[in-house]
Amino acid sequence: MSVRAGVIVTGTEVLSGRIIDRNGGWVAGRLRELGVDVGHVTVCGDRPDDLVAQLRFLVAEGVDLIVTTGGLGPTADDLTVATVAGFCGRPVAVDPALEADITGILRRWRRLDDDAPLPDSLAAAIGKQSVVPAGATPVAPTGTAPGMAIPAADGLPAMLILPGPPRELQAMWPAALAAEPIAAALADRDEVTHASIRAYGLTEAELAETLRRAEHDVDEFSRLEITTCMRDGEVEIDTRFPTAAAAAYTELKALLRRAHGRQLFAPDGETLDELLAAALDGRTIATAESCTGGMVAARLTDRAGSSSYLLGGIVSYANSVKTGVLGVPGALIDELGAVSEPVAGAMADGACRVTGADVAVATSGIAGPGGAVPGKPVGTVCFGLAVAGRPTRTVTRVFPGDRAMVRTLATTYALHLVLDALR
Amino acid sequence: MSVRAGVIVTGTEVLSGRIIDRNGGWVAGRLRELGVDVGHVTVCGDRPDDLVAQLRFLVAEGVDLIVTTGGLGPTADDLTVATVAGFCGRPVAVDPALEADITGILRRWRRLDDDAPLPDSLAAAIGKQSVVPAGATPVAPTGTAPGMAIPAADGLPAMLILPGPPRELQAMWPAALAAEPIAAALADRDEVTHASIRAYGLTEAELAETLRRAEHDVDEFSRLEITTCMRDGEVEIDTRFPTAAAAAYTELKALLRRAHGRQLFAPDGETLDELLAAALDGRTIATAESCTGGMVAARLTDRAGSSSYLLGGIVSYANSVKTGVLGVPGALIDELGAVSEPVAGAMADGACRVTGADVAVATSGIAGPGGAVPGKPVGTVCFGLAVAGRPTRTVTRVFPGDRAMVRTLATTYALHLVLDALR
């Protein structure tokens, strides 16, 4: 049996492009991992009629579950619960237990005592967020807004109403799946497996050629649903298959390793950040950044527990900081320019010396849009890598794209440089 | 007359959430700026049936224009032109002029001489990308794939087929709008104005209350389409209105200033980054970061031209870097802990001293998930602000959310702290 679902993302700020939607794809992706077939994600603004039109569309498409995101806030333009309830012909009423929960949450957030009077605006907001459609199961709030799970009935599919802030939505997901109306709607799904491989330094064209070969060489290749995706210079190869077709995936993976072994840095989908933390293996690291301006350090510190290996970094944007803090010889900068391998190498050495780290990586480049000089176009980035007990290495790359892309690609490259050296 | 449009984003990698869509909102936003009413953005995978279902949905909704993005590549799963042409009942044929153009582009890309033979795979790809539906106007490629503009006819709206890579799409946009079938579809649009206000330190509930008051107090309030959006601790208030209703917007803005004057840091929608660059007014700035780990410096250097005021920063994640590089007294850390206002103040002072900057901002906090101590829960962040010629200031905030949210909110807070002090 195949279970089908559709996702509706609500919010004028998403529809108008002022906010990039991070919910539609996330929800669709999680459903697909569960073996649910998702054919449509739709986005509408805050007009109830547009939401109703999209609900009607998905119902006509015959889906078993509709997930909505957003429109659960306290303001007048947040209308999802009322609109979906109306569409389902379910009256709404304030749920006193839910109201008490939300009041408690808001008192804690605002540090109000239990007996302090609530401001009127807050009381109104709580009342609005405590409303539940008849027959629906509320899902406990992870911010202030609860989710709602509405059972399939009267020819309508099950509906799951989730909040808009991605963190709240993602935190609520496990409880939402466990809510009885949703568990019932998903009960008959196929069992599928997902697997990822990450590669660096591989073009999509090279990969496409290997996959064409795999089509002939791998038994039951057609049961593998493969999607490839280029992100920040890495290629992610995602495969979804009926769990019964695991042997075909094993064959594909072996074929990819034979063809691109060196580039497949994460054959089981591990992230660069995880692998780097493991490869450091007790050593400490520091950064010296010019064009990436702190992005390498910020990425390293994204990971909880990074304080056990990241000592710190120097953002040496101005040359005076390169010389004054990192000890890069001024003559080197005068002679070769700040964007040069010797300067990047001296920056890495300086970061080790100044912080006492075992490993340091440095970036110095031209992120653009200005700053290009003859022989050094926008996108040119020099890297330095210092590892205690080894000679300092340097390398230059020219990255495509605009300022943001050059900085992002340079950040990823810097981390791959470290991973490669430590493995 | 109101002109209505819908947008269809195609691509399994977008539908499944592995790639964040950057086209749907962009196209919808540009159309809205032109005064076009966009009610729906839909996303489908590479299955032609799903695309046809979405086309049918938008036609039933009565739109005047449908814009599709993606599915114009050379591979077998790129089916947009054939599917849309089939839906419109228009036969397709290779356009020899277009074929010659694309051949020229690919020869230049691959550095092939004019008389060098083309590889078979390339010839097939060119043939596929040169196909034009009968009656459609091709839009010149900005990558290798041309766009297609199909006139409204036989009860169907005009259709604009655009490529998937955001850069290609955006580069093609002006020519696409100028194509006769699209210009004709948009001819009757309303003239609208967009305006934004940004606030910091204002809750959505407070704003909602003010807007409820505005509903009574502002003449023609109903002509203002207002959307509010919380992002990284800032609230963005976007308003779209018929240009003829400008007086109502002026009244709303005055009312918001009376109610929340201090919090409206950008009454004309300027970004924090722009305002900060202006407020520095020739002064230089540096950072000293612990829990934000480089994010403040990275955000400052996002902006092209930041090298004229950002000298650099120290990511002092380990205490040894706080003492060794920034000169924070070790006794202060031993006595009060690294997450304390005196340490944050000393970090800011140290950043000024070490880099020679006029202004420095420092962060030291507990981003979590671990690290909380009695009296300092996860989310506690101490800030230091040093401005030449003034006593160093410090402040402590406790931010909600997980590690990523605490770090993001602390980064925004640090920049607002600087802006407030310099204004």
Contact B38 A15 (CB under 8 A): yes
B interface test, pick of A54, A203, A314 with most B CB neighbours within 10 Å: A314
Nearest neighbour of B312 by CB, restricted to A315, A401, A403: A315
Which residues, at least 6 apart from B274, have a Cβ–Cβ distance to it below 8 Å? B303
Quote the ipTM score.
0.83
Interface of A with B in 254-283 (CB under 8 A): none
For A58-63, the CB contacts below 8 A with 24+ separation are A58/A6, A58/A8, A58/A157, A59/A155, A59/A156, A59/A157, A61/A4, A61/A6, A61/B53, A62/A4, A63/A4, A63/A5, A63/A6, A63/A39, A63/A157
Nearest neighbour of B312 by CB, restricted to A22, A122, A316: A316
CB A316 within 8 A of CB A322: yes
Contact A43 B45 (CB under 8 A): no
Contact B400 A109 (CB under 8 A): yes
What residue ranges do the domains of chain A occupy? Answer: 4-186, 192-260, 275-422
pLDDT: is A360 or B194 the higher one?
Answer: A360
Interface of A with B in 362-421 (CB under 8 A): 367-370, 401, 403-404, 407
Interface of B with A in 95-134 (CB under 8 A): none
Distance of alpha carbon A111 from alpha carbon B42, whole angstroms: 42
Q: Which residues of chain A neighbour B57 with C-beta distances below 8 Å?
A: 53, 57
Contact B231 A356 (CB under 8 A): no
Q: Residue B117 — pLDDT band, cuts 50, 70, 90?
A: confident
pLDDT in tens, B227-254: 888 888 899 998 989 989 999 999 999 9
pLDDT, position A1 = 53
Q: Give the distance from residue B2's alpha carbon to the nearest chain A alpha carbon, in angstroms.
A: 16
Distance of alpha carbon B45 from alpha carbon B140, whole angstroms: 25
pLDDT, position A147 = 97
pLDDT, position A143 = 86
Kindly report the three-state secondary structure assignment for every residue of A223-282. HCEEEEEEECCEEEEEEEEEHHHHHHHHHHHHHHHHHHCCCCCECCCCCHHHHHHHHHCC
Strand order across the beta sheet in which A225-231 lies: A192-200, A234-242, A225-231
Q: Give the distance from residue A67's alpha carbon to the nearest chain B alpha carbon, in angstroms.
A: 14
- What are residue B25's phi and psi, to 5 degrees? -70, -35
CB B255 within 8 A of CB B241: no
Fold for the domain defined by A192-260: Alpha-Beta Plaits (3.30.70)
Nearest neighbour of B298 by CB, restricted to A16, A293, A320: A293
Q: What is the mean pLDDT of residues B71-96?
A: 90
Spatial CA neighbour of B13 closest among A204, A326, A193, A344 = A204
Q: pLDDT (tens digit, 0 to 9) for every residue of chain A, 423 residues total?
A: 589 999 999 998 888 887 889 899 999 999 988 989 999 999 999 899 999 999 999 999 999 999 999 999 877 778 999 999 999 999 999 999 999 999 988 888 776 777 778 877 788 888 889 999 999 999 999 988 999 999 999 999 999 999 999 989 999 999 999 999 999 999 988 888 989 999 998 877 788 888 889 999 999 999 998 877 777 889 888 898 988 899 999 999 999 999 999 899 999 989 999 999 999 999 999 999 999 999 999 999 999 999 999 999 999 999 999 999 999 999 999 999 999 999 999 999 999 999 999 999 999 999 999 999 999 999 999 999 999 999 999 999 999 878 998 999 999 999 999 999 998
Q: Which residues of chain B neighbour A28 with C-beta distances below 8 Å?
A: 15-17
Chain B interface includes A205 (CB < 8 A): no
pLDDT in tens, B408-422: 999 999 999 999 999
Q: What is the mean pLDDT of residues B207-224?
A: 92
pLDDT in tens, B261-300: 989 999 999 999 999 999 999 999 999 999 999 999 999 9
Fold for the domain defined by B4-186: Molybdenum Cofactor Biosythetic Enzyme; Chain A (3.40.980)
pLDDT, position B128 = 84
Architecture of domain A275-422: Alpha-Beta Complex (3.90)
**pLDDT(B65) > 80:** yes
Nearest neighbour of B17 by CB, restricted to A26, A40, A109: A26
Q: Which residues of chain A neighbour B44 with C-beta distances below 8 Å?
A: 39-41
Chain B interface includes A13 (CB < 8 A): yes
Residue of A nearest to B354 (CA): A325
Fold for the domain defined by B273-422: Maf protein (3.90.950)
Residue of B nearest to A196 (CA): B18
